[in-house]
Amino acid sequence: MLFEIVHRTDYRYGHAAREACVEARLTPPALPTQEILSHSLQFNPSMNCSHYEDSFGNNVTFYAMALRHDRLSVVNTLSVRTHEPRLDHGALDVSCAEARQIFASELTNIFDYLQPTSAVPTGGEAKIWARQFFAGRHPLREGLHGLNSAIHSKFSYKPGTTENSTPLEMVWKQKEGVCQDFAHVMLSVLRTAGIPARYICGYIESGPPEGGGLLGSMATHAWVEALLPGMTWVALDPTNNQWCGVRHVTVSYGRDFRDAAPVRGIFKGSGPQGLKVKVTMRRMPEKR
């Protein structure tokens, strides 16, 4: 499928800010599942930017504004063609016990994706789910599918019930939240079960659910990739109870939402800050 995507982030200050620094993880990677046809990232007020690759492989754009300004906008525009993922069925059929043995021999390469973070603690209630879905003889495919479906059915999607600072323990308790929370729940269970997993931030096709759209589609979306014994990743979206496909576009990776945040930064000033984020994703006809 061919998509055009515009992601706009607007900051407004109550009083002019004296300076601001922004890290943008908004350059989507080229993958077998996505072909980036065009991409532009614009800041207003404009300023020369620097670029680097972080430890998770994200392309980061660093912006610094040292002049007074009362507004800052970041506009990410891209054209992307997506392709159906090719699942490694042999790896998915490996038992959970055998998969853990294979991962044990690769610890130096996957250590970060097995460890708890402040946003994604392991153990606790996640231990019960890990035992349920990733018992030794269970195939990985069965465990991943079961966990994805369980999060979708047991947790309610309710925007506004959580914030970035809401502890995962509270999400487990109230059984509601948004895509970020559901991704964190899934990561906690997978890592507790000894399955390396990473957080993905990206875009999904817009539209109302009754018209075939996906939940969480009016802003950036979050899902999870689990590592398979063949050292390839497979993506699942617990918010929408599906294995990710041609309607998902990956932008950034990390251990949790902090690592993969599309835009983050600081400003220096005395007034409050307002933030608006809008994503539009249009399916385009292919030229013949």
Q: What is the pLDDT of residue 270?
A: 73
Query: What is the domain extent for residue 266?
Result: 2-82+261-284
Q: What is the CATH number of the domain that holds 105?
A: 3.10.620.30
Q: What is the CATH number of the domain that holds 267?
A: 2.60.40.2250
Quote the number of domains for the chain.
Answer: 2
Q: What is the pLDDT of residue 259?
A: 97
| Strand 176-177 relative to strand 156-157, pairing | parallel
Q: What is the pLDDT of residue 212?
A: 61
Are 60 and 8 within one domain? yes
Q: What is the pLDDT of residue 267?
A: 85
Are 256 and 269 within one domain? no
Are 225 and 210 within one domain? yes
Are 274 and 241 within one domain? no
Are 256 and 200 within one domain? yes
Contacts by 28-32, CB closer than 8 A, 24 or more apart: 28/78, 28/80, 28/202, 28/249, 28/250, 28/251, 29/57, 29/58, 29/59, 29/250, 31/250, 32/83, 32/85, 32/86
Are 104 and 173 within one domain? yes
Q: What is the pLDDT of residue 8?
A: 96
Are 164 and 201 within one domain? yes
Are 35 and 72 within one domain? yes
Q: What is the pLDDT of residue 288?
A: 67
Are 196 and 72 within one domain? no
Are 132 and 240 within one domain? yes
Are 273 and 227 within one domain? no
Which parts of the chain register pLDDT below 50?
none
pLDDT digits (tens, 9 = 90+) for 64-108: 998 889 899 999 999 999 999 999 999 999 999 999 999 999 988
Q: What is the C-alpha R_g of the chain?
A: 19
Q: What is the pLDDT of residue 207?
A: 64
| Strand 34-44 relative to strand 273-284, pairing | unpaired
